[in-house]
């Protein structure tokens, strides 16, 4: 992907350099085609042709050098990041220095190859023209940078939206799967007979969980408070299946309530723990969901692998990692040590998130 972008940049640079050369020397080109120089054969024609060719070649080389130099300084293919003043000033300084050297070099070569007498006015015009070409080059590089960043953001947003929709679809599919519905309806049937009040509570939580899952495809981020509210409903449902064999403790600092993360993040982590570990009276599963002082969310469970695991969707943690990478270029932390499985995801500060979106 990066290689293709670089090839595209230099292809555009060559085409723009040609266009700049022809535009700058357009009167000379027209004069050669339609003037006296274009209507004769012989020595005069060759002199006119060599003069035009030399002028076009010099302008093309100056422009191409500016595009190449500023590829490394202005970094037009940089997906994110602000263009700092220091880099911009460095670009101007090195561009001016380069063109100054090229002016001297090319004018000397031009004088040696073309014996036609050069006036002081031509030399000034030659110098001014090349500096003008360099200014056009820098302007074009900056425009390419803006266009590339805008397209990169659009592509990343579309990719993130696709990943989020896929994750939400898988979560909804899991919740509406025959296995889930069978367990839910079986539990509900038992509750209706034994405890009508609990049955009503079960229906309310099932409704909340399904509603949140359906609505989550409308946004890329949810607040931690929204996620915890949904998780409590989800935990109520699955605890009806595992009873006291599933122990979940929540330790959430309220100062992070408005911090954000992709919808269904906590459910994905809890579901991952439930799916891959034995849960029984002999081996209860302990899951801890807590925030850290560093501003992240941790989900920890003891490891007691099943002999035969449930069939999974294959996206879980991989999809979650992709979402965080696409959102802010942040990786989630996954550790498996001391008989504990830990996943740590960074919480997104809403103020910083808003500032970042405004910069985009």
Q: Output the pLDDT for position 40.
A: 45
Sheet holding 246-251, edge to edge: 246-251, 285-291, 296-302, 340-346, 333-337
Same domain? For 353 and 273 the reply is: yes
Distance CA 23, CA 13 (A): 15
For the stretch 308-321, pLDDT in tens is: 655 554 456 887 88
Q: Output the pLDDT for position 174.
A: 54
Q: What value does the mean pLDDT of the chain take?
A: 81
Query: 88 near 74, Cβ under 8 Å?
Result: yes
State the residue range of the domain holding 330.
176-359
List, in sequence order, the alpha helices (H) in the chain. Answer: 2-24, 26-34, 36-39, 43-73, 85-113, 120-175, 178-194, 196-215, 224-242, 265-276, 316-328, 350-359
Q: Is 299's pLDDT higher than 90?
A: yes
Query: 299 near 351, Cβ under 8 Å?
Result: no
Burial class (CB in 10 A: 0-12, 13-18, 19+), 212: buried
pTM for this one?
0.54
DSSP states along 221-244? -EEHHHHHHHHHHHHHHHHHHHGG
The number of domains in the chain is 2
Query: 96 near 88, Cβ under 8 Å?
Result: no
Mean pLDDT within 188-215: 82
Same domain? For 185 and 301 the reply is: yes
> Which has the higher per-residue pLDDT, 157 or 73?
73
Same domain? For 85 and 180 the reply is: no
Q: Output the pLDDT for position 41.
A: 47
Residue at 171 is within a domain: no
Nearest to 236 by CA among 266, 203, 261: 203
Mean pLDDT within 10-39: 80
Which of 11-20, 47-56, 225-234 is predicted with the least confidence, judged by mean pLDDT?
Answer: 47-56
> Which has the higher per-residue pLDDT, 106 or 81?
106
Same domain? For 108 and 195 the reply is: no
Same domain? For 287 and 204 the reply is: yes
Same domain? For 262 and 147 the reply is: no
List, in sequence order, the alpha helices (H) in 176-195. Answer: 178-194
Residue at 168 is within a domain: no
- Can you read off the two tokens belonging to residue 132? 């003008």
Mean pLDDT within 173-202: 71
Query: 279 near 285, Cβ under 8 Å?
Result: yes
Tell me how crowded residue 6 is: count the other CB atoms within 10 A of its CB. Answer: 12
**Domain limit, last residue, from 94, 125, 155:** 155
Residue at 162 is within a domain: no
Distance CA 144, CA 146 (A): 6
Q: Output the pLDDT for position 26.
A: 85
Q: Output the pLDDT for position 13.
A: 92
What CATH number should be reported for the domain holding residue 202? 3.30.565.10
- Can you read off the two tokens belonging to residue 270? 């809890």
Same domain? For 278 and 328 the reply is: yes
Q: Is 243's pLDDT higher than 50?
A: yes
Work out the percent of the chain whose per-residue pLDDT is above 90: 34
Nearest to 316 by CA among 277, 266, 254, 279: 266
Same domain? For 128 and 211 the reply is: no
For the stretch 45-79, pLDDT in tens is: 444 667 778 888 999 999 999 999 999 999 888 87
Same domain? For 148 and 188 the reply is: no
Q: Output the pLDDT for position 268.
A: 87
């Amino acid at each position: 992907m990066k290689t293709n972008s670089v090839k595209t940049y230099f292809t555009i640079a060559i085409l723009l350099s040609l266009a700049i050369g022809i535009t700058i020397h357009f009167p000379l080109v027209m004069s050669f085609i339609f003037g006296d120089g274009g209507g004769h054969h012989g020595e005069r024609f060759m002199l006119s042709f060599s003069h035009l060719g030399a002028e076009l070649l010099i302008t093309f080389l100056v422009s191409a050098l500016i595009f190449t130099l500023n590829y490394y300084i202005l970094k037009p293919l940089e997906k994110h990041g602000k263009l700092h003043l220091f880099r911009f000033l460095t670009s101007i300084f090195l561009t001016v220095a380069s063109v100054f050297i090229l002016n001297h070099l090319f004018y000397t070569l031009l004088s040696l190859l073309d014996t036609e007498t050069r006036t002081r006015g031509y030399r000034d015009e030659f110098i001014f023209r090349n500096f003008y070409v360099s200014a056009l080059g820098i302007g074009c590089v900056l425009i390419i940078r803006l266009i590339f960043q805008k397209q990169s953001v659009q592509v990343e947003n579309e990719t993130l939206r696709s990943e989020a929709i896929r994750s939400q679809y898988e979560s909804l599919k899991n919740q509406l799967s025959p296995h889930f519905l069978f367990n839910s309806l079986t539990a509900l049937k038992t509750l209706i007979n034994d405890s009508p009040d609990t049955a009503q509570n079960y229906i309310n939580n099932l409704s909340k969980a399904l509603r949140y899952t359906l609505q989550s495809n409308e946004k890329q981020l949810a607040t931690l408070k929204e996620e915890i509210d949904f998780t409590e409903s989800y935990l109520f449902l699955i605890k009806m299946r595992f009873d006291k064999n599933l122990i979940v403790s929540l330790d959430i600092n309220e100062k992070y309530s408005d911090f954000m993360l992709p919808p269904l993040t906590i459910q994905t982590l809890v579901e991952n723990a439930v799916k891959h570990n034995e849960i029984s009276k002999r081996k209860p599963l302990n899951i801890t969901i807590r925030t850290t002082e560093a501003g992240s969310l941790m989900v920890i469970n003891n490891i007691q692998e099943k002999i035969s695991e449930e069939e999974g969707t294959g996206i879980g943690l991989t999809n979650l990692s992709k979402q965080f990478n696409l959102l802010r270029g942040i990786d989630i932390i996954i550790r498996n040590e001391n008989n504990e499985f830990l996943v740590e995801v960074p919480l997104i500060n809403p103020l910083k998130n808003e500032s970042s979106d405004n910069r985009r």
